[in-house]
Amino acid sequence: MSRIKLLEPLFVEFIPRELEPGKLYVSMVYTTTAHLCASGCGSKVVLPLSPVQWQIYFDGEAISLTPSVGSWDLPCQAHYWIRKNKIWWAAPWDKKRTEAGRRSDARDLDDFYDVRAATHQVGDESATSHRGSFWERLFGKREGLGRV
Ligand SMILES: [Zn+2]
């Protein structure tokens, strides 16, 4: 297993079934990214883009992703940052932090989707939270955004 040091961004509409190592596939249409784990283990890492999942920053040449990539479900337990196409290795996750991270991720996601669901059902701006109405205003009503 050799670690990947660089990820070259590749803007695509559809994420291909077979990924090439060292490439970061970005689909703006489907608001998602995919790459092969930088540990070199060959696992596919799919990072959906949303206000509470991952965000990309593209400076015209290189891509940065935030927050970090923590593959705690994989045997390699990889944890790294993608900054200007470069992989920066973080300290390995210890069990306690992993659990805490998981819980807070799940909570954020629940909040995010609950707000959207509520907005869709009620259809009344005054009944939605700040965050919900902001995203509704920014994107308009978006159908078909499911849990991932
Ligand atoms: Zn890996």
Q: Per mean pLDDT, which range of 19-33, 34-48, 91-105, 122-136 is the poorest? A: 122-136
- Cα of 39 from ligand 1 centre, angstroms: 4
**Ligand 1 centroid distance, CA of 6 (Å):** 15
| Cα of 49 from ligand 1 centre, angstroms | 20
For ligand 1, the distance from its centroid to the CA atom of residue 47, given in whole angstroms, is: 14
**Per-residue confidence (pLDDT) for residue 103, from 0 to 100:** 67
According to the model, what pLDDT value does residue 97 have?
64
What's the rounded Cα separation, in Å, for the pair 143 and 8? Answer: 31
H-only helix segments in 16-75: none
- State pLDDT tens for residues 129-139: 444 455 555 55
- pLDDT tens digits, one per residue of 54-73: 999 999 999 999 999 988 88
Under DSSP, is residue 59 helix (H, G, I), strand (E, B) or coil? coil
Q: What would the two tokens of residue 33 be?
A: 């990214």
Please give the pLDDT value at position 104: 67
Find out whether 34 and 47 touch, Cβ atoms under 8 Å. Answer: yes
pLDDT tens digits for 2-18? 899 999 999 999 999 99
Give the pLDDT confidence of 28-51 residue by residue, as tens digits: 999 999 999 999 999 999 999 999
- Cα(75) to ligand 1 centroid in Å equals 7
**Helices 130-139/95-122 angle, 10° precision:** 70
Among the listed residues 103, 105, 83, 101, the one whose alpha carbon sits nearest the alpha carbon of residue 92: 101
Distance of CA 3 from the midpoint of ligand 1 (Å): 9
